[in-house]
Amino acid sequence: MLFMAQMTVRIPHSLAPAFVEQLKADEKALSQQLQREGKWRHLWRVTGQYANVSIFDVASNDELHTLLTSLPLYPYMDITVTPLAQHGSAIVQN
């Protein structure tokens, strides 16, 4: 199942800089692992924002929920999820 997730990160300024840097490093490592596994198919930065648009390929809503809530930056994210379906006019089929 394909899902688009729009994620905006809002890290409080009150967090210790070292803690924030560790969160970012952990987030990067996990996101790259999920990309290698094929679950995080696409990752695009939203220009001018601490935000991204991502495409996930997972087995279920529950798997996506588990994946998103496992992200180290999850407590500081606003996430909007949209389920996707193949368009009949698309040249490339999944």
Q: Which pLDDT band, with edges at 50, 70 and 90, does 94 fall under?
A: low
pLDDT at 34 (0 to 100): 98
Average pLDDT over residues 56-72: 98
Listed residue (31, 72, 39, 71) closest to 58, CA to CA: 39
pLDDT at 92 (0 to 100): 77
Q: How many CB atoms lie within 10 A of CB 88?
A: 6
Q: Hey, what CATH topology would domain 2-84 get?
A: Alpha-Beta Plaits (3.30.70)
pLDDT at 74 (0 to 100): 98
Q: Where are the domains of the chain?
A: 2-84
In angstroms, the CA 31 to CA 67 distance is 10
Q: What is the tens place of the pLDDT at every residue in 68-85?
A: 999 999 999 999 999 999
Q: What is the tens place of the pLDDT at every residue in 1-32?
A: 999 999 999 999 999 999 999 999 999 999 99
pLDDT at 30 (0 to 100): 98
First to last CA, the chain: 10
